[in-house]
Structure 1
């Protein structure tokens, strides 16, 4: 059995060729309305910030939510990795880590694992040589494949699968392959190396300093979480449980928290995480024909006529997210919807085009 497409994908497959805009309305609100309508989801929100001025539009095919849920938390799936990358950069800036630590040594204390160990830097940049998911993941997840596949794969199993893994290809650092497995291992290795839980690390080093009070690792008890839906756009699905993959895809956040997070990347100098925010914008590898695919510690980077744009998408079993920013225009975009990713899904394309043309 082979694993299907991960529930929190990276960029769309054709993201190397920036699309032309689907709408030409010069007004931000008009373009957000068009993007929400194009998303065809029960609940969709596009939140745009231009030089700190925010415009938000939320609508969808479902009935309007109750007033108390006007600003719910949405599951952001793989976009969680942008927070994980920033956390690692912050720990490096503080001198708590270097990024060159052996992940196996952090997790197992075994420093005799060959001359080319997988490091923390390899894990966050998807160059560790790990598959997208552990090899035994499909079998373990099968009983709850459509409802909770990750919840049955806890942290201990993620770590054990990594320590048992033997690469079949070149040494770490020489080949890029997008891996939820690798970033999950990173979270456990950083936790072990610092002696601090992942939640405390993330809260203390990133969420707290940036004032992100509407961002959490699990559903709240206040009824403030958006409900995801299946591919049909009608059937509700349970809240996502990331199991042992927290650092790769567990976060949920409000649109305004996500704009605050992105605005900090646009103006690193005004943030308590200034050095780390600057570090995660720096290219660390290039790949593909003509090296047109550029990656930083936390972001995919594509060119525009005015300069680079940075972005990351994500999806769970019932929701999707797109985060991105353009320093040249001072623009940040957080787009979210509550319908599971499907073939030829319009959501990511609409969000990418909106940021590209902003």
Structure 2
């Protein structure tokens, strides 16, 4: 469930069976150069299943393919694990709660999770957690030891919600909150539990009621089921099937799985906030605003949901993610009215081409 914003992260195929051809979704005649670029991106991904879905001013083009035989359902109809890109959903949820007046973002997480525990002179706030400035490490103390027996299958499942919260309440940050940026799945996981505590609503229900349902994301889920809709992830070899990802107590940081069409709907809402339901419109505008700049020349800009890089035409927003067997890249560009959802079913490996391919595709649009 890692993200690499600056550096590019049911059957077993037979050795003598040729790769499945790239398949285009049924659609009206499209821009042929775009279709060719998407086909090249699918091939470059070198994954059992790959989907590159683009929306240009609401008109969609989806190409699929892979090194494995086609699954029972069309690849574009499957739900894919998006890993850390889940944080864009959590950021939007927080923005909605803030714009609705239910929270300010300045609430100390400790006070929400344990009202009797002292919060400290400079407490970790909800805003610190979503912007990766809380001072928390990438993972809680004790995570690796407990997850070790399932390290190659489902390590997060061995660290449920109670352990995440308990580890946070026991943690003593090394750095003052708000002073250093350090990407943290742990921090966003804690945020999810804090939002649930603040609203008295389980995070899964909270996200469904405030984000998924209003946007009409009916093909988005927070856990795998037996419907046959979930894409099968694979190991680094591109052949070994892996079990569905279980986020354990890290739901807010990596639990979302969705179809390419639902992900495009989600991204299109960011391109056109005015078209979203009124309670979400202000939140969609809010997640586009810069809240943090870092790096040489401050090129790396962050909102409360997205990484933001400059292009010649304007800012490009994006977030990548990975589970043990799948990868995802989500991004959009207001200047060109373009959204991209890219997905593949192979675990990230050294020099993996997937994220770099997706990033370049959106940057060059």
Aligned residue number for residue 34 of structure 1: 40
Q: Residue 199 of structure 1: CA displacement?
A: 1.1
Given that 2:86 and 2:256 are in contact with CA atoms closer than 8 Å, whether structure 1 keeps it comes out as: yes
Given that 1:104 and 1:110 are in contact with CA atoms closer than 8 Å, whether structure 2 keeps it comes out as: no
Correspondence 1:251 to 2:245: no
How do residues 273-288 of structure 1 correspond to structure 2 at under 5 angstroms? 273-288=280-295
Aligned residue number for residue 133 of structure 2: 127
Ranges in structure 2 where 5+ consecutive residues have no aligned partner:
10-30
**Cα-Cα RMSD:** 1.4
Aligned residue number for residue 274 of structure 2: 269
How do residues 1-358 of structure 1 correspond to structure 2 at under 5 angstroms? 7-13=1-7, 27-67=33-73, 70-110=76-116, 112-169=118-175, 171-272=176-277, 273-358=280-365
Q: Residue 67 of structure 1: CA displacement?
A: 3.8
Range with bigger deviation, 265-274 or 61-70: 61-70
2:338 & 2:116 partners in 1: Cα distance? 46
Q: Residue 68 of structure 1: CA displacement?
A: 6.2
Report Cα offsets for 1:224-273 as digits up to 9, x if no partner.
10000000000000100000000000110000000000000000111111
2:163 & 2:150 partners in 1: Cα distance? 17
Q: Residue 221 of structure 1: CA displacement?
A: 2.0
Query: What is the total number of aligned residue pairs between the two structures?
Result: 342
Given that 1:10 and 1:78 are in contact with CA atoms closer than 8 Å, whether structure 2 keeps it comes out as: no
Given that 1:103 and 1:119 are in contact with CA atoms closer than 8 Å, whether structure 2 keeps it comes out as: yes
- After superposition, the Cα gap between the structure-2 partners of 1:241 and 1:67, relative to the gap in structure 1 and judged at 3 Å, is closer
Q: Which runs of 4+ in 1 moved over 6 A?
A: none
Aligned residue number for residue 23 of structure 2: none
Ranges in structure 1 where 5+ consecutive residues have no aligned partner:
1-6, 16-24
Given that 1:12 and 1:348 are in contact with CA atoms closer than 8 Å, whether structure 2 keeps it comes out as: no
Aligned residue number for residue 18 of structure 2: none
Report Cα offsets for 1:142-187 as digits up to 9, x if no partner.
0111111000100000001100000112x11111100000000000
Report Cα offsets for 1:75-108 as digits up to 9, x if no partner.
0000000000000000111111111111000000
Given that 1:79 and 1:322 are in contact with CA atoms closer than 8 Å, whether structure 2 keeps it comes out as: yes
The two structures have a TM-score, normalised by structure 1, of 0.93
* Equivalent position SS for 1:112: coil
1:237 & 1:227 partners in 2: Cα distance? 7
1:285 & 1:8 partners in 2: Cα distance? 20
Given that 2:8 and 2:354 are in contact with CA atoms closer than 8 Å, whether structure 1 keeps it comes out as: no
Given that 1:47 and 1:255 are in contact with CA atoms closer than 8 Å, whether structure 2 keeps it comes out as: yes
Report Cα offsets for 1:114-149 as digits up to 9, x if no partner.
211000010000000000001211101001111110
Given that 2:8 and 2:355 are in contact with CA atoms closer than 8 Å, whether structure 1 keeps it comes out as: no
Q: Residue 112 of structure 1: CA displacement?
A: 2.7
